[in-house]
Structure 1
């Protein structure tokens, strides 16, 4: 395992982070504990979750992921050995069961979210507390263009930072990050922290994979480099499309077949399917599995602090971790870039 430092925090984490959003939906509590045990055996020290998990989000299962991690932490006694990250849900009318739909990123909601996450996780502190998506209007989850017509009332960034600072002082959270953020958002979080003496964000958890490389072209990579904000890359396999399992078998078991087709339509776009087929052919031509190549590419990008991987089986988890040792030859990287140039960001 390789390790890196989160932003300017001095906190070391594994380059591979265990994502857990399948715990409680596709994985039982026993499955979750087995994955956590195996991940730590392989050197993973970084675990990511969220209050709204598992996915797909449902009132009946919300919070189960954190509860499964909490029961594992209690059973294993390994809290001190992991860097634990979770997230607070932002405004979303479709998540009306999370705090009764009161999901603004204000003091009352963030405090309530932190307290319930601590209870479910059975811990006294959260190492990295993240805003799952912005309070303001911003294109996320498949929307690619900013639309001023969708402006809405939102909590000021400095107000959100202020309560996070109070929770830091109380010892309930240690470091903070954002997720699904824009270049403007990162810059504004940094500016308000510096102007008002508030806590500085250390990480940004954004979509990044072979079909979604917008992070490279939106100035986020330069902004985050200069401001020492680490990228936590999520969905590196594009909901399984980059494993080619759906290409090989359209009815393969996974999120794309067990969840409603309209839940994440971006991964069903013709461009994504075409790109996934070309990347799979390239990987196989060079003696790699499609998943191995997609993950190895993500693991070695200079601006990726840690890559969040998820799995429903230990065999998948093993393959995903093993890809860390794969070295991509320069000609393979050149061919990846050529495919990207012909089919740029279909999954963004």
Structure 2
């Protein structure tokens, strides 16, 4: 009997889906083949998987080191074509097998019995088989034992596949959760921290700052005349400006500093382990990074962009204040920067760096 081409194609696809070929030996399968050999009083028992051009053995009880043979007219290859037990009682006298290499070769096989390993979908992947060099048979009880063990082999293969699927699903779920967390934490337009994540991390950083040796500082930054940019050039250009401003400020922050978008054109930068003077220097560096070079526009003249900022320093000696209070003070300083001519940084006590040269 020969396998139909379409059926063999589907069978081989099923075998690939189980991803069991060329896997290391496993104790569960080795125990089954040892038990099969004992129950049938046979020197050799195998779990075989019938590939396109080879018979590969997941487990071998008997000949050491045997892992695969060419498929050809093999006994296991014939056994997978049967609906039930396939048995040869005297191979040297059986027309089906008398020319088989295992029969004519040094092994001198005479007895073979194999039970197909059938998936839930009905595809036969291989066999659980036993071999002997003596002509003999297997009684009904032995055949039932072998069928039961073959079902256990198939259960192990199914469990192995299910475990692999669960592992892949777990990895996919972890990746999805990581992606959701990333989406929740970062602003999709500018790539800096989103408002909720920024405020949460800021609160924790400030708690550590007041317990440290230097302190920290909050800088609320607003893009100057941003509504006019949107009204004149459109929201596409406005988005381009926001991304460029965020990128330039992020490039001027230090490791350990935070930067987030907390409103339409409003950003919050938090500097860790700084004195008030150091914070003002960093804030000026951010402002300068934005206004130093015009933002290039596709098909048009570059756009001059500037930002204004309000800075609130938090010293270690300060009593821990609610974040909202510190933010309100920084916002008031930002308003003073806007009122004072824009493109400048103002401290919450009203002082400021010298305004930029005209």
Q: Does TM-score exceed 0.5, indicating one fold?
A: no
Structure showing the higher strand proportion among its residues? 2
Task: Tell me which interval the TM-score lies in, with the shorter structure as reference length.
Answer: under 0.3
Flag the structure with larger Rg.
2
TM-score, normalised on structure 1? 0.19
TM-score, normalised on structure 2? 0.18
